[in-house]
Structures are given as structure tokens and as C-alpha cells.
């Protein structure tokens, strides 16, 4: 607790820290809280899970008064992250009387407009706050702080122009605080144009590499769902399964439900109220599975994740890091498992080389093949005996995959475990489900 006091945090917040059971600040908190309280512009490079939300909330608290005027605006890329920041702000408000509100799309704008009239701290997604500004629902005459949380993610999602508008339509003398997991061209543009003299802070990931085991399976796309169900039945732990497409999430979730695996699904196609409810229900579980797009890879705080499954490899290197960063936190062991099909082999090899990952090749040939009887409506997933014969008989595809993976394995630092018996094929036989179409929307 002495380390928190040394940061200059006021007594009310110290009481809160004590009651919440925190003993010492994380690296990002120790480095940024004093700078924020000194009124410095801050650009901090920090991965998800390092305690940055607490850092910027605690840092701005001494400057926030209970006057029912917006003094701090916090921008976040997703509704889920905005809502989680709001929940943390509400906890802090129990120890210092301030009003907070959160605004994002997918919910009624009028209730938000009423809440904005009394808010000292506003948490928002970029598009929705601009909407309120255009309608005249919020004035920022008293604004002291503008915080961009997950700034790189906001730029990746196409909010760069919206961010610029918010910066330029708020007071010139505001203090800017920017948190980003990666450095990008857009982040550098924001720095050069708006905060050239910002104090820069970089911290390491909260993920302990010594606690994270990375494994991968060579598997054909049509066998992924069978392998996933087999592994989840064998290792009943709290897990996240990442897919690239909403349709893939629906497909995987449907089959987990059909096979009696306790599971939830989350993607941007669901209504906000349902997404919030799903996260709330999933959080206390100790062995349930969350099937999701990359909407859950960053920002959303989900403790206790023991296994991450990359059902589909992400399209972006950084997204792979964010995904596996959901586990092996705070001194706990974690496992990241990737399903690598023929067309993903080269990309996986490149990611592993780039980050110098030590990965373990595992083989599992004796898992039960499932047959999907009820594909999700509107999904292209179908299965038939003819499909299975055609897929199994495609010797050229099988040979190409074997050659790719053989070349891949020679260049990776790995060990081979759980070897199949000599009379087992690398590709399990049985009935198959056709692989997912890539035409669906992401997130």
C-alpha cells in the first residue's frame, strides 16, 4: 500500500484501494498515474490486462469535481469496453461523489441525452458521442481530460476521422491521455498533430510468457469442429474460442450446444443488451466456453481464462497477440491452442518466426467425427455423404497440406508429442462438415 501512497493518490482513493484489496500498483499504474496528475499529455503503450483503466481513472480523479458538467471524456472502441470502464468509474464514485455516464450505439439516444446533462465523466464510443455533439446534447466547455483507450483498435475499426473531429471540437487546453497496445501510422499522426510533447510510457505485457504454453494442431478445415469438441470434452476449463466471422461463431456455438458443452456466443451482430447479458453470465463460470469474434480479444476484462482456442487464425499479427493475451495473467498458467489448416500454415509460420514463439505440435487422430444435423439458418454449412467422400478422396489436397506442414515444421522451434499410432492417418476418417464461408461480416 505504501507504493500507492508514494504515487500521490488522495486519501479517498487510497481507502478505496485498500477496500478492493490491491497491495501494489502495476507497472503501467506506477508510471502513468503521477504524470497524469501532473497535467502531462501521456502516450502509453500497454497491452490489455495491465491495469490501465484503473491508472487513468485514478489519475484524473483529483481534477474531477461534482458539478454535473463534463470534465472528462473517455473514448473506447467497443460498447463492451466502454461499459466496463463505466463500471469501474462507478466503483470509484463510491469513494468520491461524481457522476458518470456511458453512451454507445444500439441503445436509445434520449435516455443517454438526459444522463449527459448531469455527467462529470463521459465514457463513449466515437460515433455515438459525435452524434450527441451534433444534436447539442453535450457541451465540453468544462472539459479537462480527453482519454483515448485502445486508440490503435479505434483506428483499426475506422474511427480515425471521428477521433480527429472529437479532438478538434473540444477545448484546446485539455489534457490528452492515449493508451494503445501497438504503434501505428494513425497513432503517430495523432501524436504529431495534437500532442507532440507528450510523455511516452511503454510497459511489458501482463502475460507471463513462462506461464503460457502454445500448442497447435495440423487439421483440415472440415475437421476443426470435431477436434474442438474432442478437446473441450477432454479439458473442461474456462475457455475462449476465437473465430474470424460471425457466421463461424454461430456455427461453432450451435455445434457445442448440440454436443452438450456449456457455451456462450458473442459477436457484433447481437443486440447490445444481449451482448452485455452474455458477458455478465459468462464471467462467474469456471469451465464454460465463450465463442467469439475478435470483439473480445481486447478491452473486455474476463478473468480466469485458462485456454484460448484459435479456431481460425486471425488476419492480423497483433490480433494474435491480443487473443493469446487473454490467458496466463497474474501469475496463472494458460494455454493457447491454434488449429492450423493447409491455407493457414504459411501465416502461422510467419507469426511464430516474427515473435520467436516456442510452439508445441500436437497430434490427435482418435477423436470422434461429428455430423451436423441442424446447420444454423442462413449458414452455408452443409454435410452429406457425397461431401465426405469428395473431401476424403481429394488426395492432392491432402498431399499439398502434408508438404506445407512438413516444410513449416522444419523451421519452427517445436517438440512433437501425443504421436499417433503407426497405422493411423494424419487426417482422421469419418463424416465431415464443410468449412465455413468467408463471406460473412467480421466481429
User: What digits encode the pLDDT tens for the residues 12-36?
Assistant: 778 877 877 777 888 899 999 999 9
pLDDT score, position 343: 93
pLDDT higher than threshold 50 for residue 376: no
Q: Which three cell numbers stand for residue 34?
A: 503521477
pLDDT score, position 409: 55
CATH topology of domain 209-417: Rossmann fold (3.40.50)
> Does residue 94 or residue 197 have the better pLDDT?
197
CATH topology of domain 2-202: Rossmann fold (3.40.50)
Indicate the range of 186-200, 317-331, 377-391, 404-418 predicted with least confidence.
Answer: 377-391
pLDDT higher than threshold 50 for residue 391: no
User: What digits encode the pLDDT tens for the residues 280-332?
Assistant: 899 999 999 999 998 776 667 788 899 999 999 998 887 888 888 888 876 67
Phi, psi of 224 (to 5 degrees): -60, -45
Q: Where in the chain are the domains?
A: 2-202, 209-417
pLDDT band at 230 (very low <50, low <70, confident <90, very high): very high
pLDDT score, position 253: 95
pLDDT score, position 387: 36
pLDDT score, position 174: 98
CA distances (Å), origin 66, targets 71, 123, 226, 293, 401: 10, 16, 56, 39, 63
CA–CA distance, 62 with 45 (Å, rounded to integer)? 23
pLDDT above 70 covers a percentage of the chain that reads 80
Q: What is the mean pLDDT of the chain?
A: 83
Q: Do 2-202 and 209-417 have matching folds? A: yes
pLDDT score, position 243: 96
CA–CA distance, 243 with 143 (Å, rounded to integer)? 40
pLDDT higher than threshold 70 for residue 208: no
pLDDT score, position 410: 53
Q: Under a CB-based contact definition with an 8 Å cutoff, are residues 206 and 49 in contact? A: yes
pLDDT score, position 297: 65
Q: Under a CB-based contact definition with an 8 Å cutoff, are residues 333 and 210 in contact? A: no
pLDDT score, position 371: 77
pLDDT higher than threshold 60 for residue 441: no
The enclosing H or E element of 243 equals: none
User: What digits encode the pLDDT tens for the residues 209-226?
Assistant: 678 899 999 999 999 999
The enclosing H or E element of 56 equals: helix 52-60
Q: What is the mean predicted confidence (pLDDT) over 80-104?
A: 91
Indicate the range of 17-31, 160-174, 281-295, 377-391 predicted with least confidence.
Answer: 377-391
Q: Under a CB-based contact definition with an 8 Å cutoff, are residues 62 and 7 in contact? A: no
* Beta-strand runs (E) in 88-238: 100-103, 121-124, 145-148, 175-180, 199-202, 212-218
pLDDT band at 394 (very low <50, low <70, confident <90, very high): very low
pLDDT score, position 431: 36
Q: What is the mean predicted confidence (pLDDT) over 246-273?
A: 92
Listing DSSP states for 218-229 in one string gives E--GGGHHHHHH
Q: Under a CB-based contact definition with an 8 Å cutoff, are residues 229 and 255 in contact? A: yes
pLDDT score, position 271: 84
DSSP state of 202: E
Q: What is the mean predicted confidence (pLDDT) over 137-146?
A: 97
Q: What is the mean predicted confidence (pLDDT) over 167-186?
A: 93
Per mean pLDDT, which of 2-11, 39-48, 142-151, 353-362 is the most reliable? 142-151
pLDDT higher than threshold 50 for residue 167: yes
User: What digits encode the pLDDT tens for the residues 118-128?
Assistant: 999 999 999 99
User: What digits encode the pLDDT tens for the residues 325-366?
Assistant: 888 876 678 999 999 999 999 999 999 988 888 899 999 878
Amino acid at each position: 500500500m505504501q507504493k500507492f501512497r508514494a504515487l500521490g493518490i488522495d486519501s479517498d482513493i487510497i481507502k478505496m484501494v485498500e477496500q478492493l484489496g490491491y497491495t501494489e500498483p502495476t507497472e503501467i499504474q506506477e508510471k502513468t498515474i503521477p504524470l497524469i496528475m501532473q497535467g502531462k499529455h501521456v502516450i502509453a503503450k500497454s497491452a490489455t490486462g495491465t491495469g490501465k483503466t484503473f491508472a487513468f481513472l485514478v489519475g484524473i480523479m483529483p481534477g474531477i469535481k461534482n458539478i454535473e458538467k463534463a470534465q472528462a471524456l473517455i473514448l473506447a472502441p467497443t460498447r463492451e469496453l466502454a461499459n466496463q470502464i463505466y463500471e469501474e468509474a462507478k466503483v470509484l464514485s463510491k469513494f468520491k461523489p461524481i457522476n458518470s455516464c456511458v453512451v454507445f450505439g444500439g441503445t436509445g439516444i434520449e435516455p443517454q441525452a438526459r444522463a449527459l446533462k448531469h455527467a462529470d465523466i463521459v465514457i463513449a464510443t466515437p460515433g455515438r458521442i459525435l452524434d450527441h455533439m451534433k444534436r447539442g446534447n453535450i457541451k465540453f466547455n468544462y472539459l479537462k481530460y480527453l482519454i483515448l483507450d485502445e486508440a490503435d483498435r479505434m483506428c483499426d475499426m475506422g474511427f480515425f476521422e471521428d477521433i480527429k473531429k472529437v479532438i478538434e471540437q473540444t477545448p484546446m487546453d485539455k489534457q490528452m491521455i492515449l493508451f494503445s497496445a501497438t504503434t501505428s501510422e494513425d497513432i503517430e499522426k495523432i501524436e504529431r498533430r495534437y500532442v507532440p510533447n507528450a510523455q511516452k510510457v511503454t510497459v511489458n505485457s501482463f502475460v507471463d510468457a513462462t506461464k503460457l504454453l502454445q500448442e497447435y494442431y495440423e487439421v483440415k478445415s472440415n475437421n476443426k469442429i470435431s477436434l474442438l469438441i474432442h478437446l473441450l470434452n477432454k479439458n473442461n476449463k474456462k475457455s475462449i474460442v476465437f473465430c474470424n466471422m460471425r457466421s463461424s461463431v454461430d456455427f461453432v456455438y450451435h455445434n457445442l450446444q448440440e454436443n452438450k458443452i456449456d457455451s456462450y456466443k458473442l459477436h457484433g451482430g447481437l443486440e447490445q443488451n444481449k451482448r452485455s447479458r452474455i458477458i455478465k453470465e459468462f464471467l462467474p463460470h469456471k469451465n464454460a466456453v465463450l465463442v467469439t469474434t475478435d470483439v473480445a480479444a481486447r478491452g473486455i476484462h474476463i478473468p480466469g481464462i485458462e485456454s484460448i482456442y484459435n479456431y481460425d487464425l486471425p488476419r492480423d499479427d497483433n490480433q494474435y497477440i491480443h487473443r493469446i493475451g487473454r490467458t496466463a495473467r497474474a501469475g496463472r498458467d494458460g494455454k493457447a491452442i491454434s488449429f492450423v489448416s493447409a491455407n493457414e500454415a504459411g501465416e502461422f509460420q510467419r507469426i511464430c518466426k516474427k515473435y520467436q514463439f516456442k510452439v508445441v505440435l500436437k497430434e490427435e487422430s482418435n477423436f470422434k467425427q461429428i455430423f451436423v444435423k441442424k446447420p444454423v439458418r442462413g449458414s452455408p454449412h452443409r454435410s452429406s455423404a457425397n461431401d465426405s467422400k469428395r473431401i476424403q478422396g481429394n488426395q492432392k489436397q491432402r498431399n499439398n497440406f502434408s508438404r506445407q506442414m512438413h516444410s513449416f515444421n522444419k523451421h519452427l522451434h517445436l517438440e512433437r508429442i501425443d504421436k499417433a499410432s503407426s497405422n493411423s492417418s494424419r487426417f482422421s476418417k469419418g463424416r465431415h462438415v464443410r468449412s465455413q464461408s468467408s463471406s460473412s461480416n467480421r466481429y
